Amino acid sequence: MLTRRDFLKFVVGGAVGTLFSPLPWRMADEMVLFSQTWTYQPPKGKEKWVYTLCQLCPGGCGLKVRKIDDRVVKIEGNQLNPVNRGGLCPLGASSVQLLYGEHRRVKKPLKRVGERGEGKWEEIEWSTALNILTQKLQELRINGHGYTVACLDGYRNELVSGLIRRFCQAYGTPNYLTMPSGDETTSLVINALQGHEGHVGFDLENSDYILSFGSGLLEGWGAPVRMQIAYRYIYENPFKPKAKIIQIESRMSDTATRVDEWVGINPGTETALALGIAHVLIKQGIYNQEFINNYTAGFDSFKKLVLEQYKLERVSKITGVSKEDIIRIAKEFGQAKRPIAIWGRGKGDIPCGLYEIMAIHSLNALIGNINRKGGVICFNDPSETWWPEFGLDEIAKKTLSEPRIDTSKFPLITSLLYRFAENVNSQAHYKINALLIFEANPCYAAPDPALFIQALKNIPFVVTFTSFLDETAKYADLVLPAAFFLEKWEGITTPRGLQYPIFGVSKPVLKSPYDVKHPADVILTLAKNIKGIAQAMPWRNYKEVLKAAVKKLYQKGEGKLADKEYLVSLNLDGSSLPGSFEAMWEILNKCIWFNPNVKKEGFKTASGKFEFSPKELNLSHYEEWELKGEKEEFPLMLIPSERLMLTDGYLGNAPYMVKALPNTVLIKNDLVVEINPATAAKYHLIEGDKVLLKTPFGEAKVRVHISELVLQDVIAIPIGLGHNAYDEYLEGKGINAHQLLGYAKEKLTGIATWALSRANLIKI
Amino acid sequence: MHVESSHAEKYVMVIDIDKCTGCGACVIACSQENNIPVRTDETDKYRSINWLVIYRITNGEPPPKTKVAYIPRPCMHCDHAICVHVCPAQATDKDRIGVVSQIYPRCFGCRYCMAACPYHARVFGWWDPVFPKGTERGLNPDVSTRMRGVVEKCSFCHHRYQKARDKAIAEGRVILKDGEYITACAEACPTKAIYFGNIKDPNSKVAKLVKSPFAFRLLEKFGTEPSVYYISRQEWVRRQADYYLEEIHKKAHE
Amino acid sequence: MGQNNEKNLGWAPFVIGFILAFCVGWIFFGKHFAVPPLYGKLHQPVLFSHEVHTESAGMTCEDCHYLEPNGTWSGIPRLDKCIECHEEPQGETKAEIEFIKNYVEPRKEIPWLIYSRQPKNVFFSHAAHLKIARFECKVCHKDLGYNDKPPVYVYSRLSKYPQNYVIVMEDCMRCHKKFDAPNYCFTCHK
């Protein structure tokens, strides 16, 4: 009989026997190997490097993309690019997550089922989608209603914008809109004051005194990486910087803490300060008399206005800057060798007032730095002027004469998105029958997005070309997947604020894993299928358009190719153009064309001089922004704050970027706003408290961070969070600052900005 | 057998705090290069996996005199690495080129090294790595992904050293040129505030930079001999880093 | 006190258990006993013959296995290399006809079973071993380059790793110690 003891002896014998056999070591070995394969290990493959250009902001950075087999694994900066010189910004570095994020990419054309805003779609084929679109556009055109089609262009420095404009003209609609930014107003001002539509660049690297009216030099203004390199160049020796930078804004941004001086002004009063500085310059005679006498007109009326109406008493009261500071800064500015005044709040996407830009640019005229080293450089961008002529058919000629839907009382201003929404809502003008949105997200980023969403109710057919399932896709009838920048051909034109023209060809790095098309190719297809506009688009596909543009560029014969390794020492060497167009096209696949010695565009006004007081506009003057809401109910001011780690608008923050946000921006899902300690004391708030932030446009729960870097009674809110679309890494985090900021209007011109708004805090 | 030794290499990093603008491109580049996982809620920074962390310091003055500096802090790869001394599994080791390695299959997650590291450079993987769906295609095959329960830290992108060395060997040499092997953070930095190179190469940039009187290391008095030097011409930054050791520094570099 | 009428088995259960475990351990888990079920055996998807290619076709080793200029090892050649010659059958074997039918025509990559497969966290540098250590291939790969039929691929069913023609960490470390090569962790791991 087997007893329990025997059984135990057997088991113990087995255990000891096991120890004398290789079993334990083998099992340990196997477990180790098993644990090493616990997590997903990416497969190895052949490595390849491809060059391309980034299109995530108007910065024009060159990229080096590392591919393993046909997978993109890393984005790095291309050293063969004089704009970014091998550097990157956080948004560019996280492009891989934007490219491959399956929960946010649009994979196939979608048709809406259910109500607008529900976010329910059914997948359809491209042929079906294109049929629907073509039919609708054809129908509207034939019935003479072509002008009721509006196009919203979300691109900034890409060649496809020109194609969309061309399509609108050939189709016959005057309603070509752009997402609001400082760029349109800048073009208008330059056109009025200097008489041309050329590109405006700022030669900051060679300046020795920079007066920055709220420009976030390190937060992404202009071309972000170029500004970082310029910053390093200027502060190479922090004891002896090459330029003195004065940062004028209501909140001491990172830029302000790192430059020479911060001037805190009341929100929205930049115009007054600029005219105050002009007052000191003129009164004390420290302006460039030679430039004023020889190259400007209308100075006398400007002088009279500034000396009479902008005395320092008044300016100091409006802006909150002391008289001594204004005099000192004006003197330094006027006596510097190569001073420059720049504008464009934050990243440059927040619109400025027309008279604001006029006032600041007048400072540039006063010290005579236009088209001089270290100053404002104006030139014609060849990538904008190469488009060949085309004829309009009868239908187009007729419908183009209709007025724009977003007209303001001010004849020169175009593309006012909030006005578009207002007019469509009120139905005072004609009805808009179709809206085509190209890689923009107005349902999130328009001034007062709720107003825009309401306007969409009156537009029966909304189509959006987008790479991501953003807020606008939720409200569209047809969502057409646009290729991400790594998946398509594109021509990159001069970045914002760069002082010389560039042109780059960004080629597709990989074949898209999804069923996408380049919106430009869709436009070319539409042109073929809609009667009457084929003559405007004689190209078979977008690559042909690019080749034609490069050919024109090559034939001009100017400029050089940027094929040297660029360092932070700002050299601008390059090679001359090659012997044949084919060779140029080949080389452009790796580096860009640029022209640092571009011919500067002189003054082309009727008088041939810089006009201080152009006929179409009045003299620059300060007027308070038209703000919604009453001061009694909303005693505080709300201003936006920007940073490189937060991107606004059409591109949602990549997961890595949301991860990198500090606890002074986001805590769990709560957005954090900054307030001054005095304001906190007034409202009995301590660090981290939850409050209800109320503005005339909406209200939301936020938390507070107490910081001395914000002016008293001003609240700074980060822009870029608060999405209710994209994927689980971004959805529901924070609140949409655009909704709370709404818009403020410039009285005379009707230009809307979200730079400031009235607000109130209620402790909860 | 003829085998060449490369003890002529010791890699250090020099970070110029005056040039760092705190943009964060280095953090994103590191995350993308090293297959760092990301969760939907990363606001709890004690649980967040970050190999390169950027600290923000101010000079304590009220505006307008406020000054802000950003200090990127990778693993210090100390010469007297405390973490190497305490690891019970010998999962971490000091390499001959100066890099402190971390071998994930060997680590069993006791976190003794995390307690030992005075720079808090080590992070623990509390959960299995999750990558946003679809982005597994973008993972770097040169870096292993880590399972939950092991400690990870910055490796000075050592996989790039292996690849650079292979390339050099294929070309018939063993010595790497200055700039052939650099970390992902140094490569991405737009202001080139991060320098990385061989301190034993007299012609490299880092060899010249560490001799600067403005160069200092964090927690110098602990005697860990870190391989990451910082440079700042601003005195308040040096004081916050406890850099009162100018005399000792001068003596050491005479 | 153990006196009773039952037969006292004494040491017997212990000894039986010991011998049983001992045998099971050595037979099923010993390295040199390739007995199922722990070890599985597979054949290569294509019966590739090195002998035919080097002698009859006159190819050299470097035609398919070479060091790329950036230092990486080409490894086992991809289908493109085979297609260079094998669009049409070059010989008369059944293996080749099957190969052309199953892989060349549909342009499918051959899923080779790699004998020397290392775990994913191991970095092996062919460049260092060929150029600095000046090893010959057969030091690690034994006679794989001279065979007429590829040997059977024996693998462990638990961890799925190959068992023959493979080098494990102890072999690497032993050799590194002998030849004064660095034995630091990061030399081979990543």
The DSSP secondary structure of A19-46, one letter per residue, reads: HTSSHHHHHHHHHHHHHHTSS--PPP--
State the pLDDT confidence band at B253, using cuts at 50, 70 and 90.
Answer: low
State the pLDDT confidence band at C34, using cuts at 50, 70 and 90.
Answer: low
Q: Which residue has the higher pLDDT, C36 or A529?
A: A529
Assess if CATH 2.40.160.20 describes domain B11-252: no
The answer, yes or no, to whether residue B1 has pLDDT greater than 90, is: no
Q: Which residue has the higher pLDDT, C150 or A209?
A: A209
A226 and A495 Cβ atoms separated by less than 8 Å: yes
* A366-376 pLDDT, tens digit each: 999 999 999 99
* A733-744 pLDDT, tens digit each: 999 999 999 999
Identify the CA nearest to A193 among candidates A486, A618, A583, A596.
A618
Share of chain B above pLDDT 90, in %: 69
* C61-108 pLDDT, tens digit each: 888 888 888 888 888 888 888 888 888 888 788 888 888 888 888 888
For chain A, the residue count is: 764
State the pLDDT confidence band at B4, using cuts at 50, 70 and 90.
Answer: very low
* A466-518 pLDDT, tens digit each: 999 999 999 999 999 999 999 999 999 999 999 999 999 999 999 999 999 99
Q: Do B4 and C123 touch (CB under 8 A)?
A: no
Question: How large is the greatest C-alpha to C-alpha distance in chain B, in angstroms?
Answer: 67
The pLDDT value given to residue C10: 75
Torsion of CA A715, A721, A723, A729, to 10 degrees: -150
Interface contacts A/C by beta carbons within 8 Å: 95
Q: Note which residues in 89-108 of chain A have CB less than 8 A from chain B.
A: 89-90, 92-94, 96-97, 99-103, 105
Residue B45, SS3 per DSSP = coil
Q: Rounded CA gap, B143 and B160, in Å?
A: 10
The contacts of residue B18 (CB under 8 Å, 6+ apart) are A235, A238, B69, B231, B232, B233, B234, B237
Q: Rounded CA gap, A324 and A312, in Å?
A: 9
Identify the CA nearest to A505 among candidates A547, A554, A463.
A547
Residues of C with Cβ-Cβ distance to A68 under 8 angstroms: none
Identify the CA nearest to A754 among candidates A672, A674, A709, A697.
A697
Identify the CA nearest to A229 among candidates A59, A45, A399, A347.
A59
Across A625-638, average pLDDT = 93
Q: Rounded CA gap, B224 and B211, in Å?
A: 19
Q: Note which residues in 258-287 of chain A have CB less than 8 A from chain B.
A: 258, 261-264
A53 and A492 Cβ atoms separated by less than 8 Å: yes
Beta strands, E only, A141-190: 149-153, 176-178
Report helix, strand and coil shares of chain B as percent, to nearest 5: 25, 15, 60
Across A43-63, average pLDDT = 91
The answer, yes or no, to whether residue A334 has pLDDT greater than 80, is: yes
The residue ranges of every structural domain in chain B are 11-252
A451 and A479 Cβ atoms separated by less than 8 Å: no
List chains adjacent to chain B, taking adjacency as at least 3 C-beta pairs closer than 8 Å. Answer: A, C
The pLDDT value given to residue A22: 82
The answer, yes or no, to whether residue C5 has pLDDT greater than 60, is: no
In DSSP terms, which residues pair with A437 in a beta bridge? A152, A464
Identify the CA nearest to A489 among candidates A529, A464, A524.
A524
Residues of C with Cβ-Cβ distance to A69 under 8 angstroms: none
A117 and A477 Cβ atoms separated by less than 8 Å: no
State the pLDDT confidence band at C37, using cuts at 50, 70 and 90.
Answer: low
Transcribe A451-511 into DSSP letters: HHHHHHTT-SEEEEEESB--HHHHH-SEEEEBPPGGGS-EEE-PPTB-SS-EEEEEPP-S-
The pLDDT value given to residue B2: 26
First to last CA, chain A: 79
State the pLDDT confidence band at A385, using cuts at 50, 70 and 90.
Answer: confident
The pLDDT value given to residue B3: 28
Q: Do C9 and A6 touch (CB under 8 A)?
A: yes
Q: Rounded CA gap, A727 and A720, in Å?
A: 15
Residue C86, SS3 per DSSP = helix
Can you give the pTM of this predicted structure? 0.92
B28 and A656 Cβ atoms separated by less than 8 Å: yes
Q: Do B188 and A36 touch (CB under 8 A)?
A: no
Q: Do B101 and C72 touch (CB under 8 A)?
A: no
In DSSP terms, which residues pair with B123 in a beta bridge? B152
Residues of B with Cβ-Cβ distance to C123 under 8 angstroms: 142, 159, 162
A187 and A311 Cβ atoms separated by less than 8 Å: no
Residue A6, phi then psi, degrees to nearest 5:
-65, -40
The pLDDT value given to residue A35: 79
Share of chain A above pLDDT 70, in %: 99
Tokens (6 digits) for B240: 């916050």
Residues of B with Cβ-Cβ distance to A237 under 8 angstroms: 233
Interface confidence: ipTM more than 0.85: yes
Orientation of helix A519-529 relative to helix A542-556, angle to 10°: 100
Q: Do A42 and B140 touch (CB under 8 A)?
A: yes
* C152-176 pLDDT, tens digit each: 888 887 778 888 778 888 888 898 8
First to last CA, chain B: 40
Q: What is the DSSP letter of A432?
A: P
Q: Rounded CA gap, C111 and A654, in Å?
A: 36
Q: Note which residues in 215-254 of chain B have CB less than 8 A from chain A.
A: 233-234
Across A60-73, average pLDDT = 92
The contacts of residue A220 (CB under 8 Å, 6+ apart) are A57, A89, A227, A346, A347, A348, A642, A643, A644
The pLDDT value given to residue B92: 92
The pLDDT value given to residue B5: 36
A144 C-beta neighbours (distance < 10 Å), count:
13
Q: Rounded CA gap, B165 and A93, in Å?
A: 25
Q: What is the DSSP letter of A386?
A: -
Residue B101 touches chain C, beta carbons under 8 Å: yes
State the pLDDT confidence band at A408, using cuts at 50, 70 and 90.
Answer: low
Q: Which residue has the higher pLDDT, B242 or C18?
A: C18
Q: Do B166 and C131 touch (CB under 8 A)?
A: no
The pLDDT value given to residue C1: 46
Share of chain A above pLDDT 90, in %: 67
For chain B, the residue count is: 254
Q: Count of alpha carbons within 13 Å of A117, Cβ hemisphere only? A: 8
Residue A700, SS3 per DSSP = strand
